[in-house]
Every structure is written in C-alpha cells, then in structure tokens.
Amino acid sequence: MHGLGELELKVMDVLWRSEAPLRVRDVLDRLPPERRFAYTTIMTVLDRLHDKGWLERTRTGRAYRYSPARSRGEASADLLREVLDSSGDAESVLLHFAASVSERESELLRRALEKGRGQP
C-alpha cells in the first residue's frame, strides 16, 4: 500500500485479519515469525499508523486497542483513486489495467459498474 512501510503493512495485515481490536502484545504475537520485533517497536508502529489515520484506538484500562480505520478494500480503492488522480492520464491507466484483468475480475468490474449506475 502506498504510504506504508514493510512493517506497517505487516501490522495492518494482522489488524485487517482480526475480528476484534488488538492490543500491542496481540499484534506482536500474530506477526509472522520470520523476524522477532521488540514490543516498543510495534507500539511505535501502531502509534504512527494511528497518527497517519490508518488506525482507530480505544483505551481499555492502561492499554490501547487498535483497529483499522478502513477495510483493506477501502484502503485499496483509495490507493487506486490516488493513482488515477495523480497519473495525468486516467484513461490510459484504466485501459492498461483493464487489459490485465482476469475474466473473473472483468465480471466483477462489470457488475460494480452496473450497480454504480443503479442497474440490478
């Protein structure tokens, strides 16, 4: 995702997969085991993601519980919107993208466009 570092993306992935808000320790325990991170490192990443607007947090006792401010789909759509707005040639970007999609993705796009136009 644009604007996210490698560790930030891993942390967001943990939170997007969770059905409930998580504490720092919960996130740390659910990160892939290929590399161990310090508790304070994950606490700092969560704090920065909150400051950037990627996360919401609520205080429970002395700890915060974090949850995504947007779904993975919403964040991805925002990224696509940003790419189109900054490209200077949205038509070309969309044409190249459309040429690369699978049949299933093409059908999903057709249905989304019809739904957006108010068609069943």
> What is the token pair recorded at 48?
């920065």
Number of CB atoms found within 10 A of residue 57's CB? 17
pLDDT of 118: 67
pLDDT in tens, the chain (120 residues): 567 899 999 999 999 999 999 999 999 999 998 889 999 999 999 999 999 999 999 999 999 999 999 999 999 888 888 889 999 999 998 899 889 999 999 999 899 888 877 655
Residue 79, φ and ψ in degrees, nearest 5 = -65, -45
How many whole angstroms separate alpha carbon 97 and alpha carbon 120? Answer: 25
Three-point CA angle 5, 18, 53, nearest 5°: 45
How many whole angstroms separate alpha carbon 34 and alpha carbon 12? Answer: 17
Residue in the block written with tokens 């038509």: 91
pLDDT of 107: 92
How many whole angstroms separate alpha carbon 21 and alpha carbon 69? Answer: 11
- Pick from 45, 28, 46: which is nearest to 37 by CA? 28
